Chains A and B, each alone.
Chain A
């Protein structure tokens, strides 16, 4: 297994707030890895820092043996790392098609863009049916599909997903998890934050548990799923029932 992303002893601050404190994690090529933890634990901050939206206070982020610390966000996208942010953030006032085209902004080769469109249409037929609709008028679930499809347009090696199932109906949540597995099966590595921790752990190869900016546990998805500590703290009743 080759390591694709390595985060070494990362700390991130917002002014005086130490949001991430000495986090180390790694993601291997082809894996699904999940970050779980309570609200405010620092999960989003970790993903945003990997994408270049927040500044590294200390530590090292490496992707395919390239230092990411000083690389601007757009270069990270070109290198194959794409973040689907919390809350979807599709471009309002622009059509579904334009949103997808923007996703391919970093792709120079026109044939590649066409191929990416085909892949996304195949994965998300609903988007194809709504190409000329204003993205803002899509339902929440459709917007999440668009946000993920848009990220795939960049032909990423690795996709970072920040709570993709947030605010969705149970049926859609299941769909999102199927999509995540699908993405991985196409060879894209996945690092995903989820509130539905149990479901995330079921599809994940490995997971990290974050608390107050630190990693307090890491193991395979299966092992974390049955770990009593994790169960009590983060999984809630849904695991106990199933």
Chain B
């Protein structure tokens, strides 16, 4: 029993990182209907930026976290500007391929310049284990979940209460009507990429600290899982991304706990397929067909 609770805790921690990544997928999909395949690589680069700020510039962890988010926000805007904006009126498949191209470019580029081997992420914060009965949880795990929740609250405030957030929702709902309100759609899309990328970078830095190492391909699997999390929760829906992220994190650690480590992804995806068969628009999605 206590083992199950322990795995639940671990799953929630891992799921927090998936959730941070899934938010970016879902916001970008919501606003330009693009599955941004390069998103997992922004997470990877975020981890490298964090590594650079801590290892090379010897900055405090939290300052490094914020700076990495800021730089990644700029990177996200750059990717959108260079690789997606020129294709805004092209068929969707062209943009999708462009996204794949950016993904490979970032992965191979990092391998080329910094090597494809794993780098040890500096232990900017010394790990302390807390024991509660037979359960244990570390300060790093607590940091991950509290950072994730803080960022989600901030995001909710931005999206629900600010002028820019309203503009984001308006562009997602009806781009042409948004233009008629005097909203600068390009700026709004840029802003969405900035926010999504900053959240991904936060996930990358946190996971670097948690697993102690980073590498240029570290974004691939979490990227796919976060994408699935976004779909599972209901793509385009912010609360759905958070829910989906946590659910996948929990499912993953649970299947490991019952001794199916080697098949964990297969089991996780089988469950997801079953859920989506019954609710194709995701858990929080309304059951209506997507407008084309």
Contact = CB atoms under 8 A, between A and B. Distances in A.
A92 interface: yes
Interface in A136-163: 150, 154
Given A94-B173, A98-B166, A105-B163, A51 B181 contact: no
Given A91-B173, A93-B173, A101 B179 contact: no
B117 interface: no
Contacts, number: 63
Given A98-B166, A101-B166, A105-B167, A89 B177 contact: yes
Contacts of B166: 94, 98, 101-102, 105
Residue in B180, B181, B183 whose Cβ sees the most chain A Cβ within 10 Å: B180
A103 interface: yes
B171 to A, nearest CB: 10
Contacts of B177: 85, 89-91
Contact of B181 (A53, A92, A93, A106): A106
22 contacts: A52-B179, A53-B179, A72-B184, A73-B179, A73-B180, A73-B182, A74-B183, A74-B184, A77-B180, A83-B180, A85-B177, A89-B174, A89-B177, A91-B170, A94-B169, A94-B170, A94-B173, A102-B167, A102-B178, A103-B181, A105-B166, A150-B181
Interface of B: 163, 166-167, 169-170, 173-174, 176-184
Nearest to A52: B179
A78 B184 CA distance: 11
B176 A89 contact: yes
Nearest to A73: B179
A83 B177 CA distance: 9
A111 to B, nearest CB: 16
A198 interface: no
A128 B182 CA distance: 23
Contacts of B170: 91, 94, 102
Given A85-B176, A89-B174, A91-B174, A105 B181 contact: yes
Which one of B167, B174, B179, B184 has the highest number of Cβ atoms from chain A below 10 Å of its Cβ? B179
Interface of B is mostly: helix
Contacts of A90: 177
Contacts of A83: 180
A78 B180 CA distance: 11
Interface in A56-102: 72-74, 77-78, 82-83, 85, 89-94, 98, 101-102
Given A92-B173, A93-B169, A102-B181, 8 more contacts: A74-B184, A91-B169, A91-B173, A91-B178, A92-B174, A105-B163, A105-B181, A106-B182
A105 B183 CA distance: 7
A154 B182 contact: yes
3 tightest A-B contacts by CB? A77-B182, A106-B182, A89-B177
Given A89-B174, A91-B174, A105-B163, A51 B169 contact: no
A52 B173 CA distance: 20
